[in-house]
Amino acid sequence: MKPYSKLSILMLAVFLVFGASCTAKEKKVQQAETEEAVDEEAIRIASIAVSQLPENMQGNILNNMDAFKADLAAVLAEDSRFFIIADKSHLLTADYNPGELVSLDGKGIKVNKKGMKLEKVTFEALKKMISDSAEEGLSLMVSSAYRDYKYQVGLYNYYISKYGKEKTDTFSAPPGASQHQLGTVIDFNDVENTFAGTKEEKWLTENAWKYGFSLSFPKGYEDVTGYDWESWHFRYVTRAGAEFQKKYFDNIQHYMLLFLDSYRN
Ligand SMILES: [Zn+2]
């Protein structure tokens, strides 16, 4: 896509928002009509996009404003907990409530240890995704799911004692900064990038969005997400959210979450 300067984006936004240009003819009437046609929501969307997103994404949104607004409404109709940002600059509290948690034990899902739990809606979506993938001969195993704040305190401190803080911060979240505390995240199989390129990983890359899952920390976006690439770590963002992310945010979850966070607050 052709790059857009900030100014051209703003001009485009103004054009989209105000529609037809005013001529001198019947100026007063047209001015009144224009004022009526001011679309507050479109202005808001455009200003968030311009201030927070890379230029190609700004263009994507501004050039498709009506469709974007409709798709945004579908995402906003979902439970907002599926779009909470949890990272080093947006910490969850120690008592964050993940909603109803379901045990993965005895559910016909391959797990690498007992006692793991997931948020209920996420669990249902995962169950469907795993059973569909199994029909294609694939073997997805859950290696990590919900982790509470206290668990993350222990894990983070353990890594620091082993690797030091600087190294630890590239791959482990400090307490409150882990998406796992949301109860909507699964680590699959190896929990190593040896997972990348396996038929399971390829299948997830192709199909996870259909079940509402998206990769949280993609390759090449370490500076954006604050984490190293994790080919195994998927977060449930609802089907509407996963489509929204693909359509307008280059399939980068972090940009979608940032946008939604600004839009809501
Ligand atoms: Zn993970």
Find the 144 Cα to ligand 1 centroid distance in Å: 7
| pLDDT value of position 39 | 87
| pLDDT value of position 26 | 56
| pLDDT value of position 31 | 58
Pairwise CA distance, residues 203 & 15, whole Å: 42
Q: How confident is the prediction along the chain (265 residues), in pLDDT tens digits per residue?
A: 444 555 555 555 555 555 444 455 556 555 555 555 678 999 999 999 999 999 999 999 999 999 999 999 999 999 999 999 999 889 999 999 999 999 999 999 999 999 999 999 999 999 999 999 999 999 999 999 999 999 999 999 999 999 999 999 888 889 999 999 999 999 999 999 999 999 999 999 999 999 999 999 999 999 999 889 999 999 999 999 999 999 999 999 999 999 999 999 8
Find the 110 Cα to ligand 1 centroid distance in Å: 17
Find the 145 Cα to ligand 1 centroid distance in Å: 8
Domains of the chain from N-terminus onward: 6-63 (no CATH), 80-264 (3.30.1380.10)
Find the 143 Cα to ligand 1 centroid distance in Å: 9
Phi-psi region of 60 (alpha: psi -120 to 50; beta: other; left: phi over 0): alpha
Q: Which residues have a Cβ under 8 Å from the Cβ of 65 and sit 6 or more positions away?
A: 16, 42, 45, 46
Find the 57 Cα to ligand 1 centroid distance in Å: 26
Q: Which residues have a Cβ under 8 Å from the Cβ of 29 and sit 6 or more positions away?
A: none
Whole-model pTM? 0.85
Pairwise CA distance, residues 132 & 44, whole Å: 40
| pLDDT value of position 60 | 93
Find the 186 Cα to ligand 1 centroid distance in Å: 6
Specify the DSSP class assigned to residue 145.
-
For 227, phi and psi rounded to 5 degrees?
-135, 150
Identity (one letter) of the amino acid at 262? S
| pLDDT value of position 170 | 86
DSSP 66-125: HHHHHHHHHHHTS-GGGG---BTTBPPPTT----SEEE-TTSS-EESSSS-EEEHHHHHH
